[in-house]
Amino acid sequence: MPRTRRALAALALFAALAWLTPAAQAGDTAITIDNFSFTPARVTVPAGTHVVWTNRDDIPHTVTSDDKPRTLKSSPLDTGDQYSMTFDKPGTYAYFCSLHPHMQGTVVVQ
C-alpha cells in the first residue's frame, strides 16, 4: 500500500477509536471500571471537580454511593458507558457497584 494511503488508513482508525472512546474533558478526574474494580479505587480532588467513570469491563457495573439519599446512583453501565458527577461539597464519598458489592471505591473531596 502506498505510504499516503497507509497514513490515511491509520488516521481513519485513530478517528474511529477516538469516536468509540469519548475522552474526559481536561480537568476531569477519570476513573476506569475494569476487571471488577474501580481504578484508581481512591481519588482525592478539590471541590468542584467533575469525576467521570467509564466502564471498560465487558459486563455491566454501577456506581452507587453508600450515603442516603445517594449522591451517586448510576444505572447499569454497559461497556463503554460513562457516568459522571460534579462534587461541590467537601466530604468522603464511599461507593460500590450494586451488582457486585465487593467492588468499592472512594472519592475524597477537599
Residues forming the site for Cu ion (CB under 5 A):
61, 97, 99-100, 103
Q: What's the Rg (C-alpha) of the chain?
A: 17
CA distance 32 to 41: 9
Q: How far is the CB of 54 from Cu ion (least distance, A)?
A: 14
Helix or strand holding residue 5 (H, E): helix 3-20
CA distance 101 to 98: 5
**Which lies closer to Cu ion via its Cβ, residue 3 or residue 96?**
96
Helix/strand/coil percent split, the chain, to 5: 15, 40, 45
**Which lies closer to Cu ion via its Cβ, residue 85 or residue 97?**
97
**Which lies closer to Cu ion via its Cβ, residue 51 or residue 61?**
61
Q: How far is the CB of 1 from Cu ion (least distance, A)?
A: 43
Q: How far is the CB of 93 from Cu ion (least distance, A)?
A: 17
